[in-house]
Amino acid sequence: MPEVSTILAVMFAGFALSATPGPSMLYVLSHTVGQNRAAGLASAIGLALGGVILALATALGLAAVFAQFGWMVVALRYVGSAYLIWLGIGMIRGAQASASMTLLAHQVVPKSFAAIVRQGILVELLNPKTVLFFALFLPPFVKEGIGSVHFQLLFLGALVPLTAVPSDVCVAYMGGALAKTVNDNRAARLGMAWFGGLVLIAIAINLHVRLL
């Protein structure tokens, strides 16, 4: 079982990424505004299920690689933490641009609840950036001597997309009101981007130099 500090770090990192306006938020918002709240909720469920499937598949693949090449656990720990720092710096550098961007919902074709869930799963599974994220995000949190590497990867991999569920459900229920609030309060968006970026950088540093 991963340590509590590791679980919290993964949850904080996942929350920092999901709470910042991006493609996933726009996807859920578009179905909420373009159809109804149920459609927005269905899209959130689809994204979550797709994320869990992708996280588990990635974890299984990484576990097989680690079993074959043990040294890659350490190597990917450094690569992964560098990736987190890169993401954090990217969020901070793009903070001003994202704060000035208007959050708009796209037109969608009305579909059934089940069809939207299936579409959400496919959207998440076929997103190459998501695949890269899991492949580089999970390894830094694997620790030897506290249990099976296989289990750690599976547990943490499933945890990441689940941290996005609360924010996606919030978007599904608030819809247009949330978009208006976010667009009107750009200073808050700027602060969120800085906060999220600094959280990711702090987590990456904490993997090597214990700050907490």
Q: How would residue 99 be classed by pLDDT, with cut points 50, 70 and 90?
A: low
pLDDT of 120 higher than 80: yes
pLDDT of 177 higher than 80: no
pLDDT of 163 higher than 60: yes
What's the average model confidence in pLDDT over 177-204?
A: 73
The DSSP call for residue 146 is: S
From CA 42, how far away is CA 161, in angstroms rounded?
15
Residue ranges per structural domain of the chain: 4-206
Q: Beta-carbon neighbour count of residue 69 at 10 Å?
A: 11
Kindly list the distances between the CA atom of residue 201 and the CA atoms of 13, 41, 87, in Å, as whole numbers in the listed order. 10, 31, 8
pTM: 0.76
Rounded to the nearest 5 degrees, what angle is found at the Cα of 145, between the Cα atoms of 151 and 15? Answer: 50
Rounded to the nearest 5 degrees, what angle is found at the Cα of 201, between the Cα atoms of 195 and 202? Answer: 85
